[in-house]
Amino acid sequence: MANTQTLTQSQKPHIVMLPTPGMGHLIPLVEFAKQLILQHDSSITIILPTDGPISKSQNTFLSSLPSGLNYRLLPPVNFDDLSDDVLIETRWRPIHGKDLPDPLHDRKDDAYKWALHHTKRFKMAHGIILNSFIDLEPQTIKYLQEAYNNRPKIYSIGPLVLMDKKFDDDVSQCLTWLDKQPRGSVVYISFGSGGTLSHEQIIELAIGLEMSGQRFLLVVRCPNDRIPNGTYFNNQNSTNPLDFLPNGFLERTKGLGLVLANWAPQVQILSHVSVGGFLTHCGWNSILESVICGVPLIAWPLFADQRTNAVMLIEDLKVALRPKIRDNGIVGRSEISEVVKELMEGEEGKEVCIKMKELKDAAKKVLSEDGSSTKALDELAFELKKCVT
């Protein structure tokens, strides 16, 4: 790693980070912040947009932040005048779009522009951190740079994944269960921090897993029959999602599977030797984590860039299988059973497993001492140091 001067306390840069709403955006930004603190002696405050009390999983996650990394909650935005099925972009706008000059209100990337507007207002150095290839869309970058005379620096840092070992009792129980399973025998199923299925689809998924006869670890959330990202602004602390599973499902699959409500320690699960497959919504964080851990995929995208990501995983990288969807938008139980068995036992599954191993080796090089991710982080730290010297 390139050496950087040790900063005195007065020279240490203090960085403010603003994530887009959702645990899927918060977690990678926190891991990125940890790298800056541990390797480049920075102090960091994360500003979190909210629509009310934070969820239990967010509270647990934020309570374990290391020294030098703090957070502040923005005043909550009231969404009572919006319908439950309104687009997620519409919900983001009141949070990130306040006080934006025209024509910025007419653009879709409010999170970026809200931060840029206020850093310019207070004459603060600023940059944009991208963690998804879809964020590299040329039109977006060109617009953001031209919207401001000082042309902010665009950084692409990643993958940055830390294995945080601070667990609560539920998480420890999950890992203890994995310890008892044969190597590579468990398929992990999760649709990200905001992804939701309809009640009918939850039933089909659960029965399909049961029919497959494969060991599984399923993260389930309360259903939403209208929008596939219904938990971004609904922490569902008062509702038990296990109540929406098929009657008798938990009893019939006891010993074969484990079901967790709302949240799971994904990096620790994917890095466990007993996990041999991952049924994923194709969010960028999940893709990076599965690649680093070398876990082959079943691609089940729900919204936004996930569909583009799925095509890349299946057609370009060839590290994923994809279930067929019926005309009514539902993936049936038989299809789920077959694709899970194929990933875990079939010839196609073996092929994607080999491809994923190759991708894992490539990711290891990126994260090495001379890798591109490490160099990009060093470059950013150097630019931050220049702001305080």
We report the CATH number of the domain holding residue 97 as 3.40.50.2000
Domain membership flag for residue 5: no
Which domain covers residue 343, as residue numbers? 170-364
Domain membership flag for residue 9: no
> Would you place residue 1 in the very low, low, confident or very high pLDDT band (cuts 50, 70, 90)?
very low
* Number of residues written out for the chain: 389
Domain membership flag for residue 265: yes
Contact 44, 17 (CB under 8 A): yes
Same domain, 195 and 276: yes
The structure tokens listed for 27 are: 């977690």
pLDDT higher at 307 or 75: 307
Same domain, 222 and 287: yes
Same domain, 350 and 375: no
Domain membership flag for residue 35: yes
pLDDT of 120-136, one tens digit each?
666 666 655 555 444 44
Same domain, 85 and 200: no
Contact 297, 313 (CB under 8 A): yes
> Would you place residue 63 in the very low, low, confident or very high pLDDT band (cuts 50, 70, 90)?
confident
* Separation CA 12–CA 385 (nearest Å): 8
* Residue matched to tokens 């959330």: 221
Domain count, the chain: 2
What value does the mean pLDDT take over residues 23-41? 79
Domain membership flag for residue 331: yes
> Would you place residue 166 in the very low, low, confident or very high pLDDT band (cuts 50, 70, 90)?
very low
Same domain, 156 and 237: no
Query: Is the pLDDT reported for residue 11 higher than 80?
Result: no
pLDDT of 195-213, one tens digit each?
889 999 999 999 999 999 9
User: What local confidence, expressed as pLDDT, does residue 385 receive?
Assistant: 72
Same domain, 82 and 192: no
Query: Is the pLDDT reported for residue 272 higher than 90?
Result: yes
> Would you place residue 381 in the very low, low, confident or very high pLDDT band (cuts 50, 70, 90)?
confident
User: What local confidence, expressed as pLDDT, does residue 311 receive?
Assistant: 93
Contact 170, 258 (CB under 8 A): no
Domain membership flag for residue 3: no
* Of 83-97, 113-127, 143-157, 336-350, highest mean pLDDT: 336-350
* For the chain, percent of residues with pLDDT exceeding 90: 35
Contact 285, 27 (CB under 8 A): yes
* Separation CA 272–CA 21 (nearest Å): 28
Q: For residue 332, which of 286, 376, 300 has the smallest C-alpha distance?
A: 300
What value does the mean pLDDT take over residues 144-158? 48
Same domain, 354 and 380: no
Same domain, 117 and 22: yes
Same domain, 372 and 341: no
CA angle in degrees (0–180, nearest 5) for 374-298-331: 145
Same domain, 70 and 195: no
* For the chain, percent of residues with pLDDT exceeding 70: 67
DSSP string, 207-263: HHHHHHT-EEEEEE----SS-TTTTTT---TT--GGGGSPTTHHHHTBTTEEEEES-
Same domain, 47 and 104: yes
User: What local confidence, expressed as pLDDT, does residue 186 receive?
Assistant: 97
Domain membership flag for residue 4: no
Domain membership flag for residue 224: yes
Query: Is the pLDDT reported for residue 163 higher than 50?
Result: no
Same domain, 206 and 353: yes
